[in-house]
Chains A and B, each alone.
Chain A
Amino acid sequence: MAEFNTTLKEQGDISVIKLKGFLDAHTAPVLESKFDELIKKNKYKIVVDFQDLAYISSAGLGVFMAYIEKVRENQGDIKLASMSDKVYNIFDLLGFPLLYEIFKTEEEAIKKFSE
């Protein structure tokens, strides 16, 4: 299918993962390895920027579920930011806003960590 890639940006002790393209069952391992990498380095304050994400499937959502427990156990969190309406609707349909903090912008999410 279509391409997917991530870029990682460090801002203090907060890691920002920017997603781009299509996140589905085939590209999910790319994001999984990114999370593995961060957890290995004990970086548990994670912001995921959805600005350039065109599509997310249920398997893509599953990636966030797979890591959230481990991250929160270590006093961290995965915060989501800059979702398009379409992507937000998918999150919303499944009830993800109950489980994750979702912000309009990446800055807001980062700010939330420093509070």
Chain B
Amino acid sequence: MYLYRLHKNIHLTISLLSLLLLFAVITFWGGSNSKLILFTQDIVTLILLFSLTVQIKEYIRKNKISFLSLTFAVASLLGILLMTIWFAQMFMDQLIQKLNSEISIFSFTSNLIGTVYLFLFAFGTAAVFVVLKEFYFSRRTKFNPIYFRLLIIFGILSAVSFTLFKDFNESISIGFMVVTILLIIQNSLGISWIAFLTKREKYKLLIISVVITILASVLIGYTSSETLHAKTLMTYSIGFYKLSVLVLTYAIIYFGVLLFTVLFHLPTAEAFDRKAEEVSSLHLFSSLINQVLDFDELADTITDLTRKVSGADASWFVLKNNSDFHTISQKNISANDVDAINNYLLHSGDCKSLNKAKICSLEKTIVKNSLSEQFSSVIIAPLRTQSEIKGYLIAARKSGLLFFEDEAKAINAFSDYASIALENSRLLKESIEKERLEKELDVAREMQKKLLPASDPDLKEIQICSVFIPAFEVGGDFYDFYTDKKEEFSFVIGDVAGKGISAAFVMAEVKGIFESLTKILSSPKEILFKANQILARTLHRKNFVSALYGKINIARSEFEFARAGHCPAILIRDGELFTYQPKGLALGLDFTESFSDNLEEVKITLEKNDTLIFYTDGITESKNKFNEDFGESRFIDAIKTHSHKNVNQIAQEIISQISLFTNDSTQYDDITLLILRWNKN
């Protein structure tokens, strides 16, 4: 199991092996001055360091540790190393001394402790180095890995050269070290990653880099060759000792530079934060435009973003509704304060009627005293469509500080986006509502169409022509023919008060009532009376129905009709026109006896070529663009002029007269026209 894991992690294996090797070398040849032994120690330690750095780097990459956390880790590691040194000095003084003096003598315990000590420092050094390397390779504007590679090469050279050239010329290794330190300085300049930290993070980083610089300096202090620490490390590897000094130097220089860089960044940190916020808000603006399905959500986003872009404490917006303003989605402010500020801004004060965002101070105004919180400055920006101002976007700040011009500009830009989004949302809502109404009207129109006769009856004695022109909103006109009875032709024409789907439902009911009554009763008056009685049970008072029921007895050439509040009947005989308007209440107005008391029946004996005309008020109340009615007189004139023609032609002429008059004005009510001509002698 263990072996398997070791096999999987080759670097861990190498680390452990090199530690063992080092332990063995010290055990057998400890204290030897042989160059070969010392060089072997250096190489083994370098391998250990290398394997450690690889593992640490993998760990950092895998867990995506943030730079701030890395600096914190470096500080902690350095702290631990320092504690180790102190601990070692306090308790292991004896032990180390023993190790040093009896280095040639086999001392298992002291060697073991020494190896662990070395490992600890090797790990610390490797970790600090890896972090510094990560920093170097991040967010470089001019990416140049050659300097870092040179740094590593010279670092290793200076470490190894101490052992190799120890006897004859130390200046070579000192030369290498100087070059390394110069490279360190070169690599520590141009730290750019801190620019993207927030103000808070910059403060944290400032403190950590101070701590790191101090810790690293103290640690360097312990590396002077006389200390126990230095002696212990040198026992194992002189190269590593030199390397640890170099890495510490690197840490001091890098974090020292970092310290000053952060320090210089601090004054602009806030401005930088806000700019970054503005840039990210800009991105949000564009998403705003798509967020139009839910108005409330959109309103919330708008006020949230308003506060974000301007750094305001409170925000809200008002929309114009006729002459009033409605407050929508206020954030961080009480309704009373909003009302007070609105009142001041929109009705008094110098901030009304503006065409771009304006900063208004509330200091020294009467409003200030009436507010429950200390709002001192506001930005008000108009929400515009192309043609008009739909409302205002308002941001308020407490703290006694005024807003700045750039914040007003940001709000101004934002208000343009917000008004587009709001307008889109409104249009969408409108079109959804319109579509719903249209669907409803489609159903009503369809119903009406199915309730009306599909075609005019074809009778020998009576020529029949009916014209029905529905209004867009369904006016409630209906008519029906009954030809089931022998020697009898009956019809009904009527108009339900109201429009749309509710009128269509009443129509359906009325049609059913007449259809059944016409089978069992024959007098028009009786039929209307009964219909009124039946409707009493269901009809809402405001949905009354006007109707005219007529019956022609074909054998006796007799026309009989009664009128329940409907338009009069017209008879043309020999070019002369007679209007019949017998008494009669509309159905559904009165359910007492008074209905039948006031219902008159008219009987006319028909002569050949008599023309009977029935209609609904859609004809006489057709309007032109000046809102004038087509009216009875125009209607009668049209009938008179064309009465000698056949029924279809008469109908056609009347309708064309109406359309000439209305001339494309909207038709508000259904138009129904029924023309009968008596063909029998």
Quick check: is B583 within 8 A (CB to CB) of the other chain?
yes
Quick check: is B155 within 8 A (CB to CB) of the other chain?
no
Q: Does A1 contact B543, Cβ atoms closer than 8 Å?
A: no
Q: A95-B584, A95-B598, A99-B589 are in contact. Are A63 and B542 (CB under 8 A)?
A: yes
- Residues of A contacting B627 in the complex (Cβ-Cβ under 8 angstroms): 2, 22, 54-55
Q: What's the Cα separation between A113 and B621 when bound, in Å?
A: 34
Q: Does B497 contact A61, Cβ atoms closer than 8 Å?
A: yes
Q: Does A58 contact B497, Cβ atoms closer than 8 Å?
A: yes
Q: How far is the CB of A42 from chain B (nearest CB, A)?
A: 21
- Residues of B contacting A22 in the complex (Cβ-Cβ under 8 angstroms): 627
Q: How far is the CB of B565 from chain A (nearest CB, A)?
A: 4
Quick check: is A30 within 8 A (CB to CB) of the other chain?
no
Quick check: is A57 within 8 A (CB to CB) of the other chain?
yes
When the two chains form the complex, which single residue of B476, B568, B589 contacts A95, counting CB atoms closer than 8 Å? B589
Quick check: is B261 within 8 A (CB to CB) of the other chain?
no
Q: Does B542 contact A98, Cβ atoms closer than 8 Å?
A: no
Give the contacts of B547-592 with A (CB-CB under 8 A).
Answer: 564-568, 581, 583-586, 588-590
Give the contacts of B643-675 with A (CB-CB under 8 A).
Answer: 666, 668-669
Q: What's the Cα separation between A95 and B599 when bound, in Å?
A: 10
Q: What's the Cα separation between A104 and B474 when bound, in Å?
A: 34
- Residues of A contacting B588 in the complex (Cβ-Cβ under 8 angstroms): 65
Q: What's the Cα separation between A69 and B594 when bound, in Å?
A: 16
Q: What's the Cα separation between A61 and B669 when bound, in Å?
A: 15
For B, the interface residue count at a CB cutoff of 8 angstroms equals 36
Q: Does A59 contact B598, Cβ atoms closer than 8 Å?
A: no
Q: Does B497 contact A98, Cβ atoms closer than 8 Å?
A: no
- Residues of B contacting A2 in the complex (Cβ-Cβ under 8 angstroms): 627
- Residues of B contacting A1 in the complex (Cβ-Cβ under 8 angstroms): 666, 668
Q: How far is the CB of B11 from chain A (nearest CB, A)?
A: 82
Q: How far is the CB of A83 from chain B (nearest CB, A)?
A: 16
Q: A94-B586, A95-B585 are in contact. Are A62 and B598 (CB under 8 A)?
A: no
Q: Does A93 contact B498, Cβ atoms closer than 8 Å?
A: no
Quick check: is B202 within 8 A (CB to CB) of the other chain?
no
Give the contacts of A7-38 with B (CB-CB under 8 A).
Answer: 22, 24-25
Q: A93-B566, A93-B567, A99-B589 are in contact. Are A58 and B581 (CB under 8 A)?
A: no
Q: Does A98 contact B598, Cβ atoms closer than 8 Å?
A: yes
Q: How far is the CB of B452 from chain A (nearest CB, A)?
A: 19
Q: Does A93 contact B581, Cβ atoms closer than 8 Å?
A: yes
Q: How far is the CB of B664 from chain A (nearest CB, A)?
A: 15
Q: What's the Cα separation between A24 and B583 when bound, in Å?
A: 25
When the two chains form the complex, which single residue of B473, B476, B540, B590 contacts A98, counting CB atoms closer than 8 Å? B590
Give the contacts of A84-109 with B (CB-CB under 8 A).
Answer: 86, 90, 93-96, 98-99
Q: What's the Cα separation between A61 and B495 when bound, in Å?
A: 13
Question: For A22, A96, A98, which residue has the most chain B Cβ atoms within 10 angstroms?
Answer: A98
Q: A24-B668, A98-B590 are in contact. Are A62 and B565 (CB under 8 A)?
A: no
Q: How far is the CB of B366 from chain A (nearest CB, A)?
A: 35
- Residues of A contacting B244 in the complex (Cβ-Cβ under 8 angstroms): none
Q: Does A59 contact B499, Cβ atoms closer than 8 Å?
A: yes
Q: How far is the CB of B478 from chain A (nearest CB, A)?
A: 13
- Residues of B contacting A66 in the complex (Cβ-Cβ under 8 angstroms): 540-542
23 contacts between A and B (CB under 8 A): A25-B473, A25-B499, A55-B629, A57-B668, A58-B476, A58-B497, A59-B497, A59-B498, A65-B542, A65-B544, A65-B588, A66-B540, A66-B541, A93-B565, A93-B617, A94-B544, A94-B546, A95-B584, A95-B598, A96-B589, A98-B590, A99-B585, A99-B590
Residues of A at the B interface (CB closer than 8 Å) are 1-2, 22, 24-25, 54-55, 57-59, 61-63, 65-66, 68-69, 86, 90, 93-96, 98-99
10 A-B pairs closest in CB distance: A62-B542, A95-B585, A58-B497, A94-B565, A66-B542, A65-B541, A94-B586, A25-B499, A62-B497, A95-B565
Q: With A58-B476, A62-B497, A93-B581 given, name 18 new contacts (CB 8 A).
A: A25-B473, A25-B499, A54-B627, A57-B621, A59-B497, A62-B498, A63-B542, A65-B541, A66-B542, A68-B541, A93-B565, A93-B568, A94-B585, A94-B589, A95-B586, A95-B589, A95-B598, A99-B589
